[in-house]
Amino acid sequence: MVGKELKHFKIEKLLGKGGMGVVYRARDVRLDRPVALKVLRSDLTANPDRRRRFLQEAKAASAVTHPSIAQIYDVDEIEGTTFIAMEFVEGQTVSQLIDKRELDLIGSIEIGLQVAEGLSKAHEANIVHRDIKSDNIMVTRDGHAKLLDFGLAKLLDPVSADEESDVQDLKETETFSHTQPGTVMGTAAYMSPEQARGLPVTQASDVFSMGVVLYEMVTGELPFKGETPLDTMHSIAFDEARPVTFIRRNLPPELHRVVSRCLRKKPADRYKNARALAADLKKLKNDIESGIQRSLPAGERVLMFFEGVKASLPFGPTGIAIFIIGLALAGLLIFTKIEAGALVGLGVIGLFAYRYIRNRKNRMLKRFTSKISKFPEVQAIVRRDDHITVIVHEAKAKTYIRINSLVDLVNKKLYFGRKIEASVRDDLSPEEFQHILRKPSVTYVRDDIVLKPTTELKSEENK
């Protein structure tokens, strides 16, 4: 499209391609200024309801003006091509700065503060970004941060049944990990737990994504990671992030408090909006620049200690609890007049109770496996200790969400012990699948799955 014109925008140069379309540098011939022109993929706007919703969202976002938000100039459709013209920002993305290790602590907090202030302006207008990530934040040469792509992320929301007349389009949204691999893989690590579960998105979702970006800027790592997008979304929904102060020991404790509050699983436990986050980041920035070191409240320090224990020690809180109970029993024997026989009797009763409670986890996992095996797309289930792998022929988002809900239900009912984890696999070759079926860790195989003879399998491998 280089050299062509869309309305009064003349396309000059290709800038890049993404999950939602192609970005060009163009010139507004009326005002003689450069613009970034994003031409959207046709399948994203093929549905009339989705296109209408997108145009409304983009027009609303264009009304939000702030120095830290890349301004939307125009959004339109010409001969079936939907495009959005926005402010052209020269600089580097936060992702590029992290890769080059060009961000220090104060620079990271300054970027976070600028973006949070711009985001608060949007939140005041009841607009949620939905796709905040380090690739969507540009930093200009003079160090000013700009948040990009307001009004675009709603395109990725599955269309609900009452908004969609075409059932086939609705089915396609369930397989978004395949139909939109570039977008999902680039965005999954920054999703909020409610986004990962397919729940409604609020301002608190943007706050969570901001927390992920802050975490990434100050540590160089993402707080939630997985081998696949589905594994990453599972980690977001259930795993706790390691404290930033455990990854980099020289970071101030107050930074840990701010980031961990952003990353709370429940939206109500986070900052209620970006304005509250910006206020704390501004205070933190002033403290660092003035050399003030604020100590965390006692409750926060205890919580931070146990977070570190969970992340660092092999036995975690369970091992500590067992150690304390052992000390208490030893103290009873040494400092009280309880007879040893009575104590042994209590111990035997306690042992039976412990075994019953401990086996409860296995009983719950059997029921969990039984429920998952009823999903028609599930081919096999493998359990290795506390990790369950669900092998499917097609990884639908609906399957992932249902499995996550069941995992969450089991973990909530556990009295103690490690929480269970689950992952969904649809990327196994036929040979890999056959090898897995021969392992003793397989707990379920669908009736129509055929186990090939070993000789046939070896001959196929030798071909």
Whether the per-residue pLDDT at 344 is higher than 90: the answer is: no
Residues forming the active site: 131
Q: Is residue 139's pLDDT more than 90?
A: yes
- Confidence label for 257 from pLDDT (cuts 50, 70 and 90): very high
**Average pLDDT taken over every residue of the chain:** 78
pLDDT at 417 over 80: no
Is the pLDDT at 58 greater than 70? The verdict is: yes
Distance of CA 285 to the CA centre of its chain: 26
- So what's the pLDDT on residue 167? 32
Instruction: List, for residues 115-138, the tens digit of each pLDDT value.
Output: 999 999 989 888 888 889 999 999
pLDDT tens, 359-402?
777 788 888 888 888 888 888 998 887 788 888 887 777 777 77
Segment holding 6, helix H or strand E:
strand 5-6
Closest CA to 72 of 125, 111, 116, 109: 125
Tens digit of each residue's pLDDT (9 = 90 or more) over 271-330? 988 999 999 999 999 988 876 665 555 555 555 555 555 544 444 455 555 556 666 766
Higher pLDDT residue, 461 or 389? 389
For the cut 60, the answer to whether the pLDDT of residue 238 exceeds it is yes
Q: Give domain 91-152+174-312's CATH number out of 3.40.630.30, 3.60.150.10, 1.10.510.10, 1.10.3720.10.
A: 1.10.510.10
Residue 339 vs residue 215, higher pLDDT: 215
Half-sphere CA count of 300, side-chain side, radius 13 A: 14
- What mean pLDDT comes out for the span 180-209? 76
1-88 is a CATH 3.30.300.20 domain: no
- Compute CA distances 317 → 18, 237, 260, 353, 364, whole Å: 43, 21, 19, 20, 22
How much is the pLDDT for 163? 38
Give alpha helix (H) positions in 91-179. Answer: 94-99, 105-124, 167-174, 176-179
Within 374-446, residue ranges assigned H as helices are 397-413, 430-437
Spatial distance between the Cα atoms of 129 and 127, rounded to a whole number of angstroms = 7
pLDDT of residue 158: 47
Q: What is the pLDDT of residue 171?
A: 33
Summarize pLDDT for 224-237 with one digit per residue, the tens: 988 777 788 888 88
Reply yes or no on domain 363-462 having CATH 3.30.200.
no
Of the candidates 389, 375, 387, 386, the one whose C-alpha atom is nearest the C-alpha of residue 425 is 389
* Domain boundaries along the sequence of the chain: 1-88, 91-152+174-312, 316-356, 363-462
- Percent of all residues in the chain with a pLDDT value above 70, rounded to a whole number: 73
